[in-house]
């Protein structure tokens, strides 16, 4: 039986070069980066080198990069401090955001009584930019939180258009870029976001580390209190080996971006063409089959069969050695349907099994052929 991993939107395999860096740092750079002796200083040098490297790829200053445990912590830091410390009274978001944003916003509503507005979406799950502008036309201090790439259907937000609208109406803009960092170039001098969240394990780096971009002089305050690490914005001893591993992962991702992007996009296109040949009635959710409007790593398809629901289909695929998902891994234990698909599909379409396949440079056409052959059995008479 083959083993095929098509769940890269949940997490990616770590590159061998990244593992080597992590292992080496764990062996030789075990000093606490806050210590003043040589062991601590050597760790501090690695952290600041990584900060500078990441800032270079994003065209921002090193001081605007704050290391966190991942995207969820980054989202919480931005949203909570915006309400608590920056006098934000109104948050504009969408109903297809990651739960790290949605659940945090809902908690802030209960705690602070803020106003929450959800921007309209079209039938494909894309943001209605005209409606967004009407929501921004308010006297209340507003923060917009919209993800750059949707983690379930792959839709790409026009992040520059949103940033320009926020600038026009003097609103703050936060983007969860967990699915896009390492897969697309972002120039933060051109795209004027105020805050941006990223996570290393989405671009062949280690789990448990990420960062938040915090525009200089934003006034953001810490979520976690203790020491003065991360310029006072994130207390706690830094995980040096994780940070060094993330630096190597983002370096490899961006230095090889064009070549690897082309390879994975071809693989996704090959999957679409192959599945349409054997299952002509297959449908694709959101913009995931549109190479211009969706990320090249995610394909969310809907099979015509109602004989088996998506959870049972995942179980059957797992028995065949195939890893994919119904949507976000963070809610995989839930019996509820995808909140993203529930927003864009009608009741009849929701009854059909939808599956998310997500790709990386480690996948092959032979794996696609195997998966398509297995999927064909679910719709055979």
What is the per-residue pLDDT for 335? 53
Domain end position, chosen among 196, 223, 255: 255
Average pLDDT over residues 347-362: 94
Q: Are residues 195 and 277 in the same domain?
A: no
Read off φ and ψ for residue 69, nearest 5 degrees.
-80, -5
pLDDT tens readout for residues 150-173 = 999 999 999 999 999 999 999 999
Q: Which of 110-114, 188-192, 216-220, 330-334 has the lowest mean pLDDT?
A: 330-334
Q: Are residues 76 and 213 in the same domain?
A: yes
The residues near 49 (Cβ < 8 Å, ≥ 6 apart) are: 247
Q: Are residues 234 and 261 in the same domain?
A: no
- Between CA 203 and CA 200 the distance in angstroms is 6
Q: Are residues 239 and 274 in the same domain?
A: no
Active-site annotation holds for 166: no
The neighbouring-strand residues paired with 199 are 210
The counts of H helices and E strands in the chain are 12, 12
What is the per-residue pLDDT for 336? 67
Using the predicted structure, report yes or no on whether residue 34 has a pLDDT greater than 80. yes
Q: Are residues 251 and 317 in the same domain?
A: no
Domain containing 371 equals: 4-12+256-379
What is the per-residue pLDDT for 331? 52
The single residue of 60, 166, 324, 330 carrying the catalytic annotation is 330
Q: Are residues 310 and 221 in the same domain?
A: no
Domain end position, chosen among 224, 255, 286: 255
In the Cβ-directed half-sphere of 38, how many Cα atoms lie within 13 Å? 1
Share of the chain above pLDDT 90, in %: 91
Q: Are residues 250 and 228 in the same domain?
A: yes
Domain end position, chosen among 217, 239, 255: 255
CATH code (residue 100): 3.40.640.10
Share of the chain above pLDDT 70, in %: 96
CB 216 within 8 A of CB 61: yes
Task: Considering only residues 378 and 50, tell me which one the structure prediction assigns the higher pLDDT.
Answer: 50
**What total number of domains does the chain contain?**
2
Structure tokens at 153: 């259907």
Q: Are residues 241 and 273 in the same domain?
A: no
Distances (CA, A) of 228 to 32, 45, 323: 13, 17, 42
Q: Are residues 127 and 48 in the same domain?
A: yes
pLDDT tens readout for residues 327-350 = 665 555 455 689 999 999 999 999
Strand pairing category for 322-323 and 4-5: parallel
Q: pTM here?
A: 0.95
Q: Are residues 331 and 184 in the same domain?
A: no
Q: Which of 19-33, 181-195, 325-339, 355-369 has the lowest mean pLDDT?
A: 325-339
The neighbouring-strand residues paired with 197 are 176, 212
């Amino acid at each position: 039986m083959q083993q095929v991993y098509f769940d890269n939107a949940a997490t990616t395999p770590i590159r061998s070069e990244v593992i080597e860096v992590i292992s080496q740092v764990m062996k030789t750079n075990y000093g606490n980066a806050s210590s003043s002796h040589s062991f601590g200083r050597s760790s501090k040098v690695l952290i600041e080198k990584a900060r500078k490297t990441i800032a270079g790829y994003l065209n921002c200053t090193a001081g605007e990069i704050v290391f966190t445990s991942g995207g969820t912590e980054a989202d919480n830091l931005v949203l909570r401090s915006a309400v608590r410390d920056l006098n934000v009274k109104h948050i504009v978001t969408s109903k297809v955001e990651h739960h790290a944003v949605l659940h945090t916003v809902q908690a802030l509503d209960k705690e602070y009584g803020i106003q929450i507005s959800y921007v309209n979406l079209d039938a494909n799950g894309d943001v209605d930019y005209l409606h967004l502008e009407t929501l921004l036309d308010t006297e209340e201090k507003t923060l917009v939180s919209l993800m750059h790439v949707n983690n379930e259907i792959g839709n790409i937000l026009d992040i520059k258009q949103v940033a320009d609208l926020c600038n026009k109406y003097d609103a703050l803009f936060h983007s969860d870029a967990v699915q896009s960092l390492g897969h697309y170039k972002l120039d933060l001098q051109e795209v004027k976001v105020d805050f941006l969240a990223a996570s290393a394990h989405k671009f062949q780096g280690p789990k448990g580390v990420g960062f938040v971009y915090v525009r200089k002089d934003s006034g953001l305050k810490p979520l976690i209190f203790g020491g003065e690490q991360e310029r006072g914005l994130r207390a706690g001893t830094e995980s040096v080996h994780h940070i060094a591993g993330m630096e190597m992962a983002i370096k490899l991702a961006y230095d090889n971006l064009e070549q690897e992007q082309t390879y994975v996009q071809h693989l996704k296109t090959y999957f679409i063409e192959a599945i349409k040949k054997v299952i002509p009635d297959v449908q694709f959710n959101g913009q995931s089959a549109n190479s211009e409007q969706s990320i090249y790593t995610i394909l969310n398809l809907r099979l015509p069969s109602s004989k088996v629901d998506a959870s049972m289909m995942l179980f059957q695929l797992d028995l065949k050695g195939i890893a994919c998902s119904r949507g976000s891994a963070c809610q995989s234990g839930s019996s509820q349907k995808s909140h993203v698909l529930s927003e864009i599909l009608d009741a009849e379409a929701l009854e059909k099994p939808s599956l998310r396949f997500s790709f990386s440079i480690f996948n092959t056409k032979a794996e696609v052929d195997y998966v398509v052959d297995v999927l064909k059995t679910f719709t055979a008479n």
